[in-house]
A and B are shown apart, each in its own frame.
Chain A
Amino acid sequence: MHDLNTYLFVAAILFSFGVFGVMTRRNGIAILMSVELILNAANINFIAFSRFGGMNLDGHVFALLVIVLAAAEAAVALAIIINIYNNMNTINIDEASSMKE
């Protein structure tokens, strides 16, 4: 139906949006959401190559591992962000640049 390039271009657009978000956002949670965009772009690539490489299920296993990593990363990142908020009363990443108060 559609060729591989369509999916790869969609993933490239998602990845570029994610990179833009990581670099320009100042809120920690917004940066986390941009990282999720990047991981989703990588996952689309895995599944697309799996589908157009003769329906090879190895790509599906890798996508599954990426999703699990994203879940672990979100849990730890949110715990860190809430800690920063409790200590500094802000989650602006630019202001939270010192290692110790």
Chain B
Amino acid sequence: MAEISFWFVITMTILSAGIVVLSNQLIYSAMALLFTLFGVAGIYVFLWADFIAGVQFLVYIGGILVLIIFGIMLTNRISSVRLSQTNVQQGVGGAIGIWFFILISLVISKTPWLHADAVEPTGTVAGIGTLLLTKYLLPFEAISLLLLGALIGAALLSRKEN
């Protein structure tokens, strides 16, 4: 059962990621991105990362995807002539994409990765919280400063000039 659901999640992720980059309609791409993000959250669950899966739901699906759909609705004229969504470099782009995949596949299969056995933890939240306030305190503070900067910058950029 776990095996079937694992391969279902993997297939859903990859197929919908293909739709994201290949679909001709922007709103279809956004909907496919929803399924990709769901699939990635499922992969996190299979990797025992319960907290990251929750954050993926909250931030990616609840925040970023809604933002992207807002952007599509604000910038798409319904009456406009439908243009092709891709530029003329599709062949070159496909070649470079496949080249990247072959390169990464070679690296993955040739490298003798270290494996350390582990038991499934009962929860990761406490561990992540401890790490964030001890070992990674400086990155944590820096990223909160960056979020503040992004907030001010986005508000400044998108306000109406008068």
Contact = CB atoms under 8 A, between A and B. Distances in A.
B87 A25 contact: yes
Contacts of B6: 1-2
A20 B13 contact: no
Interface in A1-25: 1-2, 4-10, 12-21, 23-25
A30 B64 contact: no
Contact of A82 (B18, B63, B71, B128): B71
B90 A13 contact: no
A33 B128 contact: no
Given A7-B47, A9-B108, A92-B83, A33 B40 contact: no
- Majority secondary structure of chain B interface residues (helix, strand, loop or mixed): helix
Contacts, number: 233
Contacts of A44: 40, 43-44
Classify chain B: how many residues form its interface, as a range. Answer: 35 or more
B78 to A, nearest CB: 14
Contact of B21 (A12, A37, A73, A74): A37
Nearest to B151: A75
Interface in B90-133: 90, 92-94, 96-98, 100-101, 104-105, 108-109, 113-121, 124, 127-128, 131-132
Contact of A16 (B101, B114, B135, B151): B101
Contacts of B96: 19-20, 23
Interface string B55-66: 110011001100
Contacts of B151: 75
A67 B56 contact: yes
A8 B5 CA distance: 18
B128 A20 contact: no
Interface string A55-67: 1011011011101
Contacts of B84: 26
B74 interface: yes
A53 B116 contact: yes
Contacts of A5: 108-109, 113
Given A7-B47, A9-B105, A54-B116, A74 B64 contact: yes
Q: Kindly list the 8 A-B residue pairs having the minimum CB-CB distance in the complex, ordered from nearest.
A: A54-B116, A20-B97, A21-B21, A72-B150, A55-B118, A23-B93, A79-B157, A24-B93
Given A73-B150, A80-B157, 8 more contacts: A12-B101, A24-B90, A27-B26, A29-B26, A69-B143, A71-B63, A75-B154, A78-B158
